[in-house]
Structure 1
Amino acid sequence: MSGILIVEDEDIEREFLATIVEKEVGTAFDVWTCITGNQAIELAKEKQPNIIFMDILIPEKDGLSALKIIKTFLPDVKVVVLSAFSDFSYAQKAIELNVNKYLLKPANPREIVAVLVELIALTSSEMPKEEPEQANYQSFIKEAIQFIEDKYRTQLTLEIVAAHVFMTPQYFSRVFKKEVGVSYTDYVNHLRIKLACKLLKETNYPSYRISSECGFNDPSYFNRVFCNQMGITPIKYRKQL
């Protein structure tokens, strides 16, 4: 299981950050928190997180000192440094440690989420191209399928779904097809045509409205997909009913 470590000694700030992160990642990532620099080093050794949110002014060992040690055994970990100060010396040390982002406190939720999505996508794109079951992506795909089944009637793109589960579009497409057995587009179109058949049977909506109700933005594309799946046009399908 992938994970995110939050290091922050202020209770309100730590709980605030953890709540935002947990809401965004759902069950796809474990989220751990700690207070001191020494705790951060020990947790990083034990859990080996993919991403660390690190406050600078923390007890025992400051955040940058702790990070310098963590980087010796987790050189590729993605790091967001949180600081209440815009002091250039802090930023310079952070750059030397290859920190990915330097946020001034208090960071707003939208900024935190944007950084989180960016780093998760970066982490996913750098992972060795293992078989998806070895890479522990079942939970991502399960969440993606639930999202698709909730949203397929909208203008849902592969990019939107990939962002929802924090993957790059290219990697998500490959993992989805490997796990599910069909491409993302075929899976969504199957759901849409199934709904179209139901609407053709139960309503007198014209074809262009059914196309829109099912999430297609082009009636002619809807007709092509319907014919490919059903072997007949929507109009003839309704007449046969």
Structure 2
Amino acid sequence: MYKILLVDDEILEIEALKIMLEKFKDQVTIVGEAKNGREAIELNSKLKPDIIFMDVKMPGIDGIKASKIIKNQNEDIVIIVLTAYDDFDLIHEALTLGVKDYILKPVKCDNLLNALSVQINNLKINNNRIKMKELLLMDKIISQDKNEAEILLNSIIESYIIASNEDIDYFRHKIKLILEKMMKISSKFRFKHNRLLNEEEYLHKLNSLESIQSISAYINSLLVSIFEEILESDTETKKNDIEKLKCSNKIIEPALKYIEENYREQILLEEVASISNISLYYFSKLFKKEMGMNFTTYVTKYKIEKAKKMLKNTDIPIVNIASELGYYECGYFTKVFKKIEGITPTEYRNNN
């Protein structure tokens, strides 16, 4: 359920909005009402809504000033302004602040519901992006890609810092879920020197931390510890595992074909290992032995080669190329491209 805050100095307008929003009662809940900008700012900090319907003209702090303050606190919050004035300068100012949409008053039900539907879809897309980042983080740990894992973890932390709006309990809960997943993934490795604490000890420590900064540092330290253990883990395998290594050609052939046919999607180590009918741990070992690089590096380089061809031979916008290759954000695609090629996609296109 998405939380909504209604802000308008006219009681009848608030009541009308509540009636209209009944049609979305299975997706949203109204958590508060404010009659001016000051109350809106206070309730935003207290209730942490996902969406605010904000009247522009109110006594005291008006909707524009309140929107600016609230967006500074949480840039991801969705604000839809309501205005009785068809004033495009005012609308432009609101949109410049990061307001997502505007509705002219008197508010028509269809206009409100259409605007709300668009913003709910955008929120779902953003939530899915974070979930995909978490999924990719676990994949990078399994495939032992430390640099990519660190980039993804910090990106996830930044997303949750913004979403938390300084609510440490919310932030702690989100990091706790990531910690549990990381511990589960680390259990797939046979560590030679297992210096990692057990999950309960990590959770106990996490619960004792009293700031968002210390929690962020703590989850980063766990990632570092996991990779230290991976690097020092025993590389010897049991006799039956050595037999698997001997027949690596046949095992990874389906994986290479799968990458070739599905490079436009997010390709995860777990699903490819499943296709090869081998455990994650041994597939990762086999792939690196046979191809001379880990799985995620191979997939990334394969995608970047496809990107280079598109950059060189077409005028497709870079954001579309990123999407075509299964990258959830154009900025992330640009970072990956530059890491491999030494220049940005734009520079590569200009040079070629």
Q: Could you say which structure has the greater relative contact order, defined with CA pairs below 8 angstroms and 6 or more residues apart? A: 1
How do 1:43-82 residues align onto structure 2 when only pairs under 5 Å count?
A: 43-82=43-82
Q: Which runs of 4+ in 1 moved over 4 A?
A: none
Partner of 1:215: none
Partner of 2:222: none
CA distance in 2, matches of 1:112, 1:28: 13
Measure how far apart 1:2 and its partner are.
Answer: 3.4
The answer to whether the 8 Å contact 2:8/2:54 transfers is yes
Query: Under a length normalisation based on structure 1, what TM-score does the superposition of the two structures give?
Result: 0.51
* 1:201-240 CA-partner distances (Å, limit 9, x unpaired): xxxxxxxxxxxxxxxxxxxxxxxxxxxxxxxxxxxxxxxx
The answer to whether the 8 Å contact 1:2/1:28 transfers is yes
SS at 1:41 equivalent: helix
Give the structure with the higher percent helix.
2
Partner of 2:5: 5
- Quick one: structure 1 residues 30 and 85, their matched pair in 2 at CA, closer, same or farther if it must change by over 3 Å? closer
Q: Unaligned 5+ residue runs, structure 2?
A: 135-172, 175-352
Measure how far apart 1:66 and its partner are.
Answer: 0.6
* 1:26-51 CA-partner distances (Å, limit 9, x unpaired): 37534321111100000111111111
Partner of 1:129: 131
Query: Under a length normalisation based on structure 2, what TM-score does the superposition of the two structures give?
Result: 0.36
The answer to whether the 8 Å contact 2:4/2:28 transfers is no
SS at 2:131 equivalent: coil
Partner of 2:33: 33
SS at 1:6 equivalent: strand
Is 1:109–2:120 an aligned residue pair?
A: no
Alignment length, in residue pairs? 133
How do 1:79-98 residues align onto structure 2 when only pairs under 5 Å count?
A: 79-98=79-98
Percentage identity across aligned positions?
Answer: 36
Partner of 2:141: none
Partner of 1:20: 20
CA distance in 2, matches of 1:77, 1:61: 19
SS at 2:38 equivalent: helix
- Quick one: structure 1 residues 24 and 72, their matched pair in 2 at CA, closer, same or farther if it must change by over 3 Å? same
CA distance in 1, matches of 2:88, 2:115: 21
How do 1:191-206 residues align onto structure 2 when only pairs under 5 Å count?
A: none
The answer to whether the 8 Å contact 2:82/2:103 transfers is yes
* 1:178-197 CA-partner distances (Å, limit 9, x unpaired): xxxxxxxxxxxxxxxxxxxx
How do 1:207-226 residues align onto structure 2 when only pairs under 5 Å count?
A: none
Measure how far apart 1:123 and its partner are.
Answer: 0.6
Partner of 1:208: none
* 1:72-103 CA-partner distances (Å, limit 9, x unpaired): 11111111110000112211211211211111
The answer to whether the 8 Å contact 1:81/1:99 transfers is yes
Q: Which has the larger radius of gyration?
A: 2
Letter in 1 for 2:126: E
Letter in 2 for 1:94: A
- Quick one: structure 1 residues 66 and 18, their matched pair in 2 at CA, closer, same or farther if it must change by over 3 Å? same
The answer to whether the 8 Å contact 1:22/1:31 transfers is no
